[in-house]
Structure 1
Amino acid sequence: MISNISLVSVWVRDIDESLAFYTDVLGFEARDDITLGEDFRWCTVGHPSQPELQVHLTTPSKPLSDDLIGAMQRAQAEGGLPGIGLNVDDCRKTYDDLVSKGVEFIQPPEERPYGVEALMRDNSGNWMVLVEPRAYSAEDFDRADF
């Protein structure tokens, strides 16, 4: 039986630059950083409050096909790949803090039925959502103006 999610992968352009972004800017901790063979690096980070969940920072590379690698690199260049969602205690304060660190935001904090949400990009262009969650019901979405 599956007990939890332990690993998610995020496609990045440069592992060293992304490792610095996730640790220095977002406050994650570095976990594994191992080179396996000539062209594969296993690099993970995680949030200090979630030791059971690792974020694998990886570049589009073999064993993926050349066509898929090219397509993913084009999607990265366009900023079209999804990243991860992050819960925050105070979305507006976190937004201000990250803006001061040079993080690109697609959408400033806005009220949503489920909380306050902001959309940002990591340094590889991946979409990331910050959410200050609150309790909601399905009816809250009927009144929502997105």
Structure 2
Amino acid sequence: MAITETSLVSVWVKDQDESLAFYTDTLGFETGDDIRLAEDFRWLTVRHPNQPELHLHLTTAGPPLQDDLVDAINRALDSGAMPGIGVTVDDCRKTYEELSAKGVTFLQEPAERPYGVEALMRDNSGNWIVLVEHRDYDPEAMTVGADGKPTTTE
């Protein structure tokens, strides 16, 4: 097989200019491509300076998608429950404090997990972004507790 890496992930957003500002000014990404391909279509990407080969395509729902799909995507964004991306952080608690001070909405404060420390936030369009401070763990030793949360058998 000739696939060598993932280079693009699309993230639905409500407003491209506002999302560009959020991802660059708040999260520290850099602008990638910003091209007007048609009167009603703007190709806009951001990328993290430590991983410039992976672009996040910040795109709005619209043509050529059917109206019912556009409505469904926008309803999911408005509800704040749209799955988004996961990012690695050096210090989850410190990142949580810094982003909270910038007004970022968190759904879950940093919490210990068998694989590290994790927090869950929303971007300005309602997409979830998981912040993970990784640590070494044995996935074979993980189980699910009675509360449905992962635990370890170690």
TM band (smaller chain):
over 0.9
Instruction: State the partner residue of 1:43.
Output: 44
Instruction: State the partner residue of 1:86.
Output: 87
Within 1, Cα distance between the matches of 2:133 and 2:4?
26
Per the TM alignment, residue 141 of structure 1 is displaced from its structure 2 partner at its CA by 2.1
Per the TM alignment, residue 105 of structure 1 is displaced from its structure 2 partner at its CA by 0.1
Amino acid paired to 2:80:
G
Instruction: State the partner residue of 2:28.
Output: 27
Within 2, Cα distance between the matches of 1:99 and 1:80?
19
Per the TM alignment, residue 102 of structure 1 is displaced from its structure 2 partner at its CA by 0.2
TM-score (norm 1): 0.96
Sequence identity, in percent?
66
Aligned residues: 146
Instruction: State the partner residue of 2:152.
Output: none
Instruction: State the partner residue of 2:72.
Output: 71
Within 1, Cα distance between the matches of 2:129 and 2:94?
16
- CA RMSD, Structure 1 to Structure 2 (Å): 1.2
TM-score (norm 2): 0.91
Per-residue CA deviation, residues 101-141 of structure 1 (Å, 9 max, x unaligned), is 00000000000011000000000010110000011113442
Within 1, Cα distance between the matches of 2:104 and 2:118?
15
Instruction: State the partner residue of 2:56.
Output: 55
Q: Secondary structure at the match of 2:28?
A: coil
Instruction: State the partner residue of 1:16.
Output: 17
Q: Secondary structure at the match of 1:117?
A: strand
Per the TM alignment, residue 143 of structure 1 is displaced from its structure 2 partner at its CA by 7.2
Amino acid paired to 1:19:
L
Within 2, Cα distance between the matches of 1:143 and 1:11?
31
Q: Relative to total residues, which structure has the larger strand share, 1 or 2? A: 2
- List alignment gaps of at least 5 residues for structure 2: 150-154
Amino acid paired to 2:32:
R
Runs of 4 or more above 6 Å deviation: none
Report if aligned partners of 1:86, 1:128 keep a CA contact under 8 Å in 2: yes
